[in-house]
Chain A
């Protein structure tokens, strides 16, 4: 639909850039694994999501050419991220603060799913 700008539609990137991005992705995967041995408490999820977001952004920006495409698509992509962030943040105002004022006396029925215990 937005094909009027043919110069950007056929943008070709140097191969070296692809390999650099791929390298960074591997390094970040390594960091994800390494960091899983360190416990940050409730910040575990934030760190994990941060790395995952950086990786996904790299893939979208370079491998999927979002950086060089019509800015409309960038806006669509970013707004979807904002909405995901909104959903997670507001849900976490619940999950991270349960029992703050009125302590929960009962333990969870089971800490982890049966599914993961197998």
Chain B
């Protein structure tokens, strides 16, 4: 199969201009991937520097002020520039139309606009780093954010602009899923990744404008002194937190939902078994999207909001556990008695389930007011959200990237090095962050650059873990980039997947499919279908042939 020599989306048009002005969802997805990877690298460097300062108590490498700027930038870059666009805008852009059997997204120009708006927002954020980086924490809480002399306005304006990019992607995906499904693909025959992207898009469209309003109000208060959040002018600082978390709590589901979508794909492909509880997984994505809007107050138990309010939000928070649990148990049930193989994407899937279970359950702990009052603003919270965001979303993103890498580039990466990197990342992650649960429960506050001597051993382990993580990511960067140029050619369907993106060539041709594909089976019909030499065949046919041969 001379795949790479045939025309495909990578080689059909050449030159920088053909990339910069492309309307092809695959190329836009790749440009997004490139951009979010730069952001991930930058955020990662900030993280390594933070951990370096925390290796010993007292001031070692940075002043307290620089440290404040470092953790703010780590948070802001990772959240706004990396993790929110990482799965939907980069991987999702590439696979969504392929999974639906469509030529492109519904609005290709809006798609390109979304990317350039992202770039403009990122430039504002970068400018703010040069012009006196923000030191408020990524949450920009008032009243400090209205009084600090650092460049709050350019960073928040950057986040405001990035919000539009996110909304554009959301609108585009909703229209695409409604209108461009292949013949035969009813709502309940869509791959679960598509359901997850749909739920994500709904949150993006509904919640992001509120962040925009919040950041604008903050800018207005800072520039012309209208009292909205400042109590000296009749404002209410807790109101800022309501505004901020009304977006930012649903936003954590913008991050995790597409990750869960990836896991649904991976777990069934590498178990070669029909997904258990398709409809429940699909509905639970929508359920999470809905509940995500009702729980924001659990970030504010110690902010001075009313006790009644805390009680209501704590009660509602526990409901998130239900759809998340449904997904978890359905994935486990899918693996049960499946023919599981442990290629790199499946290793990430298992890591996800392990880490997300810890992240999710500690989330339930923190949702209980009595515990949260003690744990609030300690490393326990830091460990919790890194287990969900990094152990969950980033691990799922890496799993998805390894899964679709052969489809994207038409090349295979080194499985051996992929396993080495996986092991380093998995172990490094746990060494870095599991220690932080202990630190937090013993009272180590977050966002402090100095600490008592008693915390030093745990801080040291955590820093060593961050180095392991760093090495793991460097190895990954090396073998992935190497594979693009020197990797062996990938077959069209290296994992034996049944969803539509595997029915086209690797890499796909410019218009995705030679002719309009028609869906004749459910997305995960592994009980009746199998893939042999890139060909999707019915198991009955194989049996008949075998009978004839006998």
A-binding segment of B108-116, B144-152, B232-240: B232-240
Q: Known contacts A86-B293, A91-B242: does B234 contact A100 (CB below 8 Å)?
A: no
For the complex formed, measure the closest distance between the CB of A106 and the CB atoms of chain B, giving whole angstroms: 10
B306 and A100 form a contact (CB under 8 A) = yes
Decide if A42 is an interface residue (CB 8 Å cutoff): no
**Contact call A90/B312, Cβ cutoff below 8 A:** yes
Q: Which residues of B contact A96 (CB under 8 A)?
A: 306
Interface residue from A79, A83, A90, A109 paired with B231 (Cβ < 8 Å): A109
Partner of B246, one of A87, A97, A98, A113: A87
Supposing A86-B293, A109-B232 touch, asked if A93 and B227 sit within 8 A by C-beta, the answer is no
In the assembled complex, the CB of B208 is this many whole angstroms from the nearest CB of chain A, namely 12
B509 within 8 A of A: no
A104 CB → nearest B CB, Å: 9
Known pairs A100-B307, A110-B231; A83 contacts B206 (CB<8 A) = yes
**Residue in contact with A110 in the complex, picked from B234, B246, B293, CB distance below 8 Å:** B234
Are B227 and A97 within 8 A (Cβ)? Answer: no
Tally of contact residues, B, Cβ under 8 A: 28
B226 interface hit (Cβ, 8 Å) = yes
Q: Is there contact, CB below 8 Å, between A91 and B234?
A: no
B-contact 0/1 string along A97-112, CB 8 Å cutoff: 1111110000011111
> B232 to A110, Cβ gap below 8 A?
yes
Pick from A79, A83, A87, A113: contact of B235, CB below 8 A. Answer: A113
Q: Which of B210, B226, B306 has the most CB of A within 10 A?
A: B306
Q: For A99, what are the chain B residues with a Cβ–Cβ distance below 8 Å?
A: 306
Q: Residue A95 at the B interface, CB < 8 A? A: yes
Q: Which residues of A contact B304 (CB under 8 A)?
A: 98
B63 on interface, CB distance cutoff 8 Å: no
Closest residue of chain A to B316 (Cβ to Cβ) is A90
Among candidates B225, B297, B307, residue contacting A90 with C-beta atoms closer than 8 Å: B297
A115, CB-defined interface residue at 8 Å: yes
Q: A87-B210, A94-B242 are in contact. Are A116 and B309 (CB under 8 A)?
A: no
Determine whether A114 belongs to the interface, using a CB cutoff of 8 Å to chain B.
Answer: yes
In the complex, chain B residues 145-189 whose Cβ is within 8 Å of any chain A Cβ: none
Q: How far is the CA of A102 from the CA of B305 in the complex (A)?
A: 11
**A116–B231 alpha-carbon span in the complex (Å):** 14
* B303, closest chain A residue (CB): A94
Known: A91-B239, A110-B234. A86 touches B305 (CB 8 A): no
A94–B226 touching, CB < 8 Å: no
Q: Which of B252-304 contact A (CB under 8 A)?
A: 293-294, 296-297, 300, 304
Which of B235, B300, B308, B313 has most A Cβ within 10 Å? B308
Please measure, in the bound complex, the distance between the C-alpha atom of A90 and the C-alpha atom of B243, giving whole angstroms: 11
CA distance A93 to B238 in the complex (A): 13
The interface residues of chain B lying within 8 Å CB-to-CB of A113 are 226-227, 233-235
A103 CB to closest chain B CB, in angstroms? 11
A96's closest neighbor in chain B, by CB? B306
Are A93 and B235 CB-contacts (below 8 A) given A83-B293, A87-B210, A115-B226? Answer: no
Query: Cα distance A39–B233 when bound, in Å?
Result: 24
A86-B293, A113-B227 known; A94-B234 Cβ under 8 A: no
State A90–B234 Cα separation when bound (angstroms).
21
CB–CB B232/A93 < 8 A: no
Please report which residues of chain B, range 66-97, place their CB below 8 angstroms from some CB of chain A when the two chains form the complex.
none
Min distance, Cβ A116 to any Cβ of chain B, angstroms:
7
B511 to chain A, nearest CB (A): 22
Distance, CA A94 to CA B313, complexed state (A): 10
Report the Cα distance A55→B182, complex, angstroms: 43
Q: Are A97 and B308 in contact (CB under 8 A)?
A: yes
Q: Is there contact, CB below 8 Å, between B236 and A86? A: no
Residues in chain A near residue B235, CB distance under 8 A: 113
Chain B proximity of A32: nearest CB distance (Å) = 22
CB-contact partner of B294 in A86, A101, A110, A111, under 8 A: A86
Distance from A65 Cβ to chain B, minimum over Cβ atoms (Å): 22
- Interfacial chain A residues near B293, Cβ < 8 Å: 83, 86
Measured between alpha carbons, how far is A11 from B313 in the docked complex, in Å?
Answer: 46
- CB neighbours (8 Å) of B308 from chain A are 93-94, 97, 100-101
Given contacts A94-B309, A98-B305, contact A114 B297 (CB under 8 A): no
Inter-chain contacts of B227 with A (CB < 8 A) = 113-115
Is A90 within 8 A of B294, CB to CB? yes
Residues of A within 8 A of B246 (CB): 87
Q: Give the distance in Å from the alpha carbon of A95 to the alpha carbon of B300 in the complex.
A: 13
Question: How far, in Å, is B317 (CB) from chain A's closest CB?
Answer: 12
For residue B312, which residues in chain A have a CB less than 8 angstroms away from its CB? 90, 93
Is the pair B306, A108 in contact by a Cβ cutoff of 8 Å? no
16 interchain pairs, CB-CB under 8 A: A87-B210, A90-B312, A93-B297, A93-B308, A96-B306, A98-B305, A98-B306, A110-B233, A112-B234, A113-B226, A113-B234, A114-B232, A115-B225, A115-B226, A115-B233, A115-B234
Known: A93-B306, A111-B234. 11 other contacts (CB 8 A): A80-B206, A87-B210, A94-B238, A98-B306, A99-B306, A108-B231, A109-B232, A113-B233, A114-B234, A115-B227, A115-B233
Closest 9 CB pairs of A and B: A113-B234, A97-B306, A94-B309, A113-B227, A97-B308, A94-B305, A93-B309, A113-B233, A101-B307
Residues of B whose CB lies within 8 Å of any CB of A are 206, 210, 225-227, 231-236, 238-239, 242, 246, 293-294, 296-297, 300, 304-309, 312-313
